[in-house]
């Protein structure tokens, strides 16, 4: 393989390994959607641990995607550099003078909006992983609340 890793026939590809892990976590999460209330701290802790595993799986999937994409990104960067089309950096004032003030102001606005949405997502994630919130609530209600929070965040991102 291109990354120097020899893949055995029975070994799943990096993509398949990530996919299998996420599917297993999804199967575990479905077990909590039976509508039974969260009656103990142990169950709430288990839900919190599962959410943490889901976040780790999401990060692992993103890292695997980046690793698989790296040769393409490197090739694209080489071509862009060769043609003098390197990406504009907001950290360098000279590039703002080169691209025009209007473009930089718009880019700064978009960056501020992205940071606001990131902060909102982090706040929602804290709410979702707080086991105290789940004690006494049915798992169906917990799931519905999480879906509502994520839907709100998605709508905010689309408006931004």
**Higher per-residue confidence, 141 vs 3:** 141
Apex 141 CA angle, 140 and 143, nearest 5: 65
**Residue ranges per domain, the chain?**
14-87+121-159
Q: Mind listing the pLDDT tens digit for each residue in 61-110?
A: 999 999 999 999 889 888 877 777 555 544 454 555 555 666 677 778 87
**Gap between the Cα atoms of 38 and 36, Å rounded:** 7
pTM of the model: 0.44
Apex 150 CA angle, 41 and 46, nearest 5: 20
Do residues 53 and 25 lie in contact, with contact meaning Cβ atoms separated by under 8 Å?
yes
Residue 88 makes CB contacts below 8 A (sequence gap 6+) with 95, 98, 99, 103, 107
Q: Would you state the pLDDT for residue 39?
A: 86
Q: Would you state the pLDDT for residue 24?
A: 92
- The whole-number average pLDDT for the span 106-115 is 79
**Gap between the Cα atoms of 138 and 159, Å rounded:** 32
């Amino acid at each position: 393989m291109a990354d120097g890793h020899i893949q055995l026939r029975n070994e799943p590809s990096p993509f398949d390994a990530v996919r299998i892990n996420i599917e297993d976590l999804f199967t575990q999460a479905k077990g909590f959607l039976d509508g039974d209330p969260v009656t103990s701290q142990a169950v709430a802790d288990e839900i919190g641990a599962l959410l943490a595993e889901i976040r780790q799986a999401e990060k692992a999937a993103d890292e695997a995607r980046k690793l698989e994409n790296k040769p393409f990104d490197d090739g694209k960067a080489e071509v862009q550099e060769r043609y003098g089309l390197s990406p504009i950096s907001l950290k360098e004032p000279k590039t703002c003078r080169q691209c025009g003030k209007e473009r930089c102001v718009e880019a700064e606005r978009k960056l501020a909006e992205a940071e606001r949405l990131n902060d909102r997502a982090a706040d929602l994630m804290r709410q979702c992983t707080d086991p105290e919130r789940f004690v006494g609530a049915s798992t169906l209600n917990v799931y519905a609340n999480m879906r509502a929070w994520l839907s709100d965040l998605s709508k905010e991102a689309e408006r931004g």
